[in-house]
């Protein structure tokens, strides 16, 4: 039996699997330098073909139980970002990652999407723990993690390299039984 990645719905959003027809919008959104500056792995410049290549990996990741990647869309279907859970190691954990196009920042969309994906991660995928990280200076992303009830677990000094410099990240986590019912 083939399991299909679900579509999640919130009050204002539809979180659905990406399709190759989303590639132009992904390229436009992810290509914004502000997205690059706040994420760990999105390149800049975001070149032609990168979106198609990235989207083409999602189905296999889901089928191989490596996590799930969702297109974050407004209720009218307009794509505004991405959110994912990636299986992390052998101990039933996942890492949460997300980005929202800058023109939709400070509207609560990210918090709304994170709540839905955390619930799916714990109940649908059965993860015991979900973690998330943000660059030390990215206060907005940290605020999203706090709003959804994630606990700050630590500061990882010089954890990653961005633009040739070591960057400190802040780690948050949530256990399945800690979430709001």
pLDDT tens digit sequence for 73-107:
999 999 999 999 999 988 999 999 999 999 999 99
Q: How many helices (H) and strands (E) does the chain have?
A: 5, 8
pTM for this predicted structure: 0.95
CB atoms within 10 A of CB 135: 19
Q: What percent of the chain has pLDDT over 70?
A: 97
Label residue 181 by pLDDT band (50, 70, 90).
very low
Label residue 46 by pLDDT band (50, 70, 90).
very high
DSSP annotation of 76: T
What is the torsional sign of CA 1, 16, 132, 26?
A: positive
Question: Cis before residue 147, ω within 30 degrees of 0?
Answer: no
CA dist list (Å): 41 to 12, 31, 65, 120: 27, 12, 21, 24
| Contact of 103 with 115, CB cutoff 8 Å | no
Phi, psi of 138 (to 5 degrees): -90, 75
| Residue whose C-alpha is closest to residue 26's, from 62, 68, 59, 56 | 56
| Contact of 81 with 110, CB cutoff 8 Å | yes
User: Which residues on neighbouring strands pair with residue 110, listed in sequence order?
Assistant: none
Return the structure tokens found at 144: 């999203």
Instruction: Flag the least confident range among 9-18, 59-68, 134-143, 172-181.
Output: 172-181
* Dist CA 49 CA 27 (whole Å): 9
CATH 3.40.630.30 fits 8-128, yes or no: yes
Label residue 3 by pLDDT band (50, 70, 90).
confident
Return the structure tokens found at 113: 């999407």
């Amino acid at each position: 039996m083939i399991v299909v990645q679900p579509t999640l719905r919130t009050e204002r959003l539809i979180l659905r699997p990406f399709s190759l027809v989303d590639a132009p919008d992904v390229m436009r959104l992810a290509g914004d330098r502000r997205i690059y500056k706040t994420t760990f792995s999105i390149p800049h410049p975001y070149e032609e073909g990168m979106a198609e290549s990235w989207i083409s990996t999602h189905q296999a990741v889901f089928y191989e139980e490596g996590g799930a990647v969702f297109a974050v869309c407004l209720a009218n279907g307009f794509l505004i970002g991405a959110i994912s859970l990636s299986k992390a190691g052998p101990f039933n954990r996942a890492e949460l990652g997300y980005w929202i196009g800058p023109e939709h920042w400070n509207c609560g969309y990210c918090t709304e999407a994170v709540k839905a994906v955390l619930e799916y991660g714990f109940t649908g995928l059965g993860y015991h723990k979900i973690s998330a990280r943000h660059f030390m200076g990215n206060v907005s992303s940290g605020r999203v993690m706090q709003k959804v009830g994630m606990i700050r677990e630590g500061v990882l000094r010089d954890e990653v390299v961005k633009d040739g410099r070591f960057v400190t990240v802040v780690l948050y986590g949530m256990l399945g039984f800690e979430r709001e019912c």
